[in-house]
């Protein structure tokens, strides 16, 4: 059974969101989904870049001007 997790990284600057996301994903099981809330635009690039390189499914959703949700599925 897959679980969903959330990470609130609003107000945090790079590379903090990336490091937090990496740690969180490492603790999750295959099939679990992580949503990271960010508002630092550089995290919108480095987190998806890293996650795609790992082979995970990634989606970026613009929640508001300058605020995004990154949805990462640990699919392997």
Residues lying near another protein in the complex (CB under 8 A): 2, 33, 48, 57-62, 71, 73, 75
Smallest distance, another protein to C-beta of residue 64, A: 13
**How are beta strands 33-38 and 4-8 bridged, if at all?**
parallel
Residue 63 makes CB contacts below 8 A (sequence gap 6+) with: 37, 69
d(CA 70, CA 41) in angstroms, rounded, equals 12
14 among known catalytic residues: yes
Q: Which of 5, 14, 22, 69 is catalytic?
A: 14
**How far, in whole angstroms, is CA 43 from its chain's centroid?**
9
* CB-nearer residue toward another protein: 24 or 69: 69
* CB-nearer residue toward another protein: 19 or 75: 75
**Which residues participate in catalysis according to the annotation?**
14
């Amino acid at each position: 059974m897959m679980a969903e997790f959330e990470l609130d990284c609003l107000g945090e600057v790079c590379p903090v969101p990336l490091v937090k996301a990496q740690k969180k994903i490492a603790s999750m099981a295959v099939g679990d989904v992580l949503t990271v809330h960010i508002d630092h635009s550089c995290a919108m690039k480095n987190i998806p870049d890293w996650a795609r390189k790992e082979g995970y499914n990634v989606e970026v959703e613009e929640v508001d001007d300058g605020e995004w949700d990154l949805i990462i599925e640990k699919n392997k």
